[in-house]
Structure 1
């Protein structure tokens, strides 16, 4: 009698697992051979399993437009076709929207990112440009101070330096604080940076609630800033000002920055929700900006010809009294191509994941995706597919030459395969803000320093995705800096 209990329990577990791992086969989709191996369990236990690399391997395993795979016990539909991915995410009528950006007002549901998109328009960014330059000057001042102390060639970990620069940008523009983490070693954002990169991948714990004292401390900062702006009329030209305007039902676009305060019952966002939006922007933009800036620097410093072209482009900027002009940055076409090539080779979001909100019939097919199932678009694998980009592992900014209106281009972006900034409902509305911030940092570095990559770095360097790309070496991205005599008195 008692022997029947473990047998029944084992049978129930076996049948349940077998049912999960036969999902795509039962639905008629092409699928991988499923199962949990001892190798996978050992890698997961040792935290050696790499989610992004495994998805890329699944992408390369066949040529079907769709492939059913399993991320642990979660059925996931992998989209291999760029055209199909664009069709699904652009024309699915809300089937695959990310719920955290949805908000309800009255009887209508809106996408918050779409409503906030004007906050990252050219006019708004031009008004914020002064704050961006201020943060970049903190970066240069920090490096010049270290250079003066060394009295010669300065060698620094630019990956860590650019992460601090990125968190300073976020603190100043998203949280409305005068933050300089190059000097403020005990600031809340400094503790966030010291956490490092988690090795636990999203396919295991992404659905678990994540509450921490850090979240509540950030909420307090937002509450204080909102009160200063709503109750005391403080005006600061930053992203938080526009979030507070949106909270009060004011237009995010246009030229006005002052807040027309509304009643509490008419607020579009609560303080808690506004703080959550700011924290989401913090987590997304920190990794995106820092990784793209770091890997752009890593790639261009390996090619003297690229550095020479960038220096020539940067030297044409007016740079009056050490200050850049916003309108001139749009003319940095070669730097634009470099940033785009970095995003192609190292997309900050290597995989787009979306949960199906209601049963969706795939176009030109009898197949359907059930509610609650995951759709996955492997951006990294697509960008490194030779069908779309020749010599995908080579860093070639000129593959985007035609898109900048400078002449003919080779068959590099076939079928609009470049989707580094997302597609449809997964499109990055803050891409212009990110490019502006990265451009300013690179321009200031090239103007003030001669940069040289540590020659031993390329041999020992490894780029991992956690999930954003991250250079893993013992010393990060070691770069030697030699000072240029270009108006150094401005930074003193």
Structure 2
């Protein structure tokens, strides 16, 4: 359609009209400039039937705005920096496990190992719980994390129907999330909250910030080194235990698989492009030398080539291949005689845009220099792995820090190459909600002598 010079086109999913946006300026208008017409995502939400469904990702209108304003200060760069040491502690087991793979010449199922790492990170930083998934791949968090993403045909069918016709779930009072998953996360969060409040436990993590919000303590929206600074709030809307459980769940749901997938694809590209891998390793070593070999928050923020590599990975492999918005107020497309009616779903095809040769020449090539300081300014609304506008991913800073810590930890000590068991070129799994490879990515790992 874009080749025909169109800025948008439409299709029907059953009886539901959908509009696909093709023009970056129109995408900018709908995601940002005219956001008041497209405030909702149109996802399933029912707080009574499925309490985990009522969180930032799904909330609508005023409910979303109030919750976003309440929670946004917990994800400033300062608050993310506060969690750095907690995150860094999770790399200890990762290094132990990677040593075993290298010394025993075992082939690395990169998604499996990094999924266990991101589970430990989210468990520790999000719930304040040591999951030990790297040590024990059958940990409860891994078990229920997999269940949360769906394990069979019925789960895939429910996910598809929830996107096409979420009202059916309300009519039949069906929870989208697995009842076992709901029970596990609700109980885990409530037990954590009770223990911390009864024993006055303070920990530098997401759960502590949620407890402050529950107690109607306003978290300062600043970047002052992530200190646990707060003051009494005049806002009477505190968070309930159920709401905290829902936000902790989406912190896990949105952060576990997306970060593991991004890391898997990044290691695959680095293993496939030896020179790029070596350039990144040299940057890591040179920066760490300035910090006496210590991996710190300030050190990873200096790794600019790493940032380019991550951005290019997210360009080729955006975890969420499309962003959706529901029209909440009748909207006339600028400079056109087309009106988007209330209820129409609007799609931004992220994967398609990221592979558009108009914006990214030779799009199948992995080229971090696409995101040099000179080129980054050209990427506005054509690089959208976290979305854009007021509903941009709130956990973007945390996710990037997690990925950077993992890359810096492993690349300074290990070399990676692609094992022949890996299918090349990568083929995407068609039944997955998130972008995922069909089959596994297998890598060889070698420790520096």
| Class of the TM-score when normalised by the shorter of the 2 chains | 0.7 to 0.9
Larger radius of gyration: 1
2:348 paired with 1:367: no
Aligned counterpart for 2:386 among listed residues 388, 410, 421: 421
Paired with 2:211 and 2:29, the residues of 1 have a C-alpha distance of 35
Cα deviation for residue 357 of structure 1 reads 2.0
Equivalent pair of 1:83/1:415 in contact (CA under 8 Å): no
Q: Deviations over 1:441-475 (max 9, x none)?
A: 111111221211114524364223622221222xx
Deviates more, 1:375-384 or 1:463-472: 463-472
Any unmatched runs of 5+ in structure 1?
1-58, 403-407, 486-492
Structure 1 vs Structure 2 CA RMSD: 3.0
Paired with 2:325 and 2:71, the residues of 1 have a C-alpha distance of 21
Could you say if the C-alpha distance between residues 60 and 458 of structure 1 is closer, same or farther in structure 2, counting changes exceeding 3 Å? farther
Any unmatched runs of 5+ in structure 2?
42-54, 170-174
Aligned to 1:3: none
Could you say if the C-alpha distance between residues 145 and 322 of structure 1 is closer, same or farther in structure 2, counting changes exceeding 3 Å? farther
Paired with 2:66 and 2:279, the residues of 1 have a C-alpha distance of 41
TM-score of the pair, normalised by structure 2: 0.83
Aligned to 1:276: 246
Aligned to 2:71: 116
Q: Deviations over 1:196-244 (max 9, x none)?
A: 7657375533324314111111111111111233333210101111122
Aligned to 1:428, what secondary structure does the other structure show? Answer: coil
2:161 paired with 1:204: yes
Cα deviation for residue 82 of structure 1 reads 1.2
Aligned counterpart for 2:85 among listed residues 114, 126, 130: 130
Could you say if the C-alpha distance between residues 294 and 353 of structure 1 is closer, same or farther in structure 2, counting changes exceeding 3 Å? same
Aligned to 2:49: none
Equivalent pair of 1:65/1:81 in contact (CA under 8 Å): yes
Aligned to 1:161: 113
1:345-360 residue pairs with structure 2 within 5 A? Answer: 345-360=316-331
Paired with 2:214 and 2:98, the residues of 1 have a C-alpha distance of 39
Equivalent pair of 1:389/1:412 in contact (CA under 8 Å): no
Q: Deviations over 1:382-435 (max 9, x none)?
A: 111112111111111101112xxxxx44x9946652222211133122111111
Aligned to 2:122: 170
Cα deviation for residue 60 of structure 1 reads 5.2
Deviates more, 1:460-469 or 1:193-202: 193-202
Equivalent pair of 2:219/2:230 in contact (CA under 8 Å): no
TM-score of the pair, normalised by structure 1: 0.77
Query: Matched residue pairs, number?
Result: 414
2:196 paired with 1:229: yes
Could you say if the C-alpha distance between residues 98 and 140 of structure 1 is closer, same or farther in structure 2, counting changes exceeding 3 Å? farther
Paired with 1:387 and 1:111, the residues of 2 have a C-alpha distance of 39
Q: Deviations over 1:327-380 (max 9, x none)?
A: 011111111001001111111111011122232333333432222221111111
2:181 paired with 1:214: yes
1:314-463 residue pairs with structure 2 within 5 A? Answer: 314-318=284-288, 323-402=294-373, 408-409=374-375, 413=378, 416-459=381-424, 461-463=426-428
Aligned to 2:443: 479
Aligned to 2:262: 292
